[in-house]
Amino acid sequence: MELAGAVLTLAGSVFLFLGALGLLRMPDIYNRMQAGTKATTLGSILFLTGLALYQWGSGSVQKTAVLILFIVFTNPLSSHTLARASHAVGIPLTGRSAIDRLADSGKNT
């Protein structure tokens, strides 16, 4: 059980690293946001699950479950709010992006 938890934690840390790398390397803010939020959400879920498996039976499973649930609920919400706000103030997309349906629909003022 300990070894499985450690391997899961290592996989989660790799996802966290890739998310941070994407945050550093992506061309504009929307790409950065999806790298820095989605990959980090999956990475932290794996990391926390691995740590809960690592210390199985010490009463930490419930708290880990609450923490994972909280991250899953709030992380996309804050990212969405931030993306919407930055689109509303007119931060431009990168030159390679093909389509902007939110600007075409004219709903985001």
Partner 1 sequence: MADTLLHIAACIALVSVMLAFIRLVKGPSTADRAVALDTMTIISISLIVFIAAVTKRLIYYDVAMVYALISFIGVVAVARYIERGL
By C-beta, is 8 or 105 nearer to partner 1? 8
Q: How far is CA 71 from the centre of its chain?
A: 9
Residues at the contact surface with partner 1, assessed by CB under 8 A: 2-3, 5-7, 9-10, 12-14, 16-17, 19-21, 23-24, 29, 32-33, 36-37, 40-41, 43-44, 47-48, 50-51, 54-55, 58-60, 63-64, 66-67, 70-71, 74-75, 77-79, 81-82, 84-86, 88-89, 91
Spatial separation of the C-alpha atoms in residues 9 and 4, rounded to whole Å: 9
Please report how close the Cβ of residue 98 comes to partner 1 at its closest, in angstroms.
22
**Structure tokens, 30:** 């929307």
Please report how close the Cβ of residue 61 comes to partner 1 at its closest, in angstroms.
11
**Structure tokens, 52:** 């809960």
Burial class (CB in 10 A: 0-12, 13-18, 19+), 40: buried
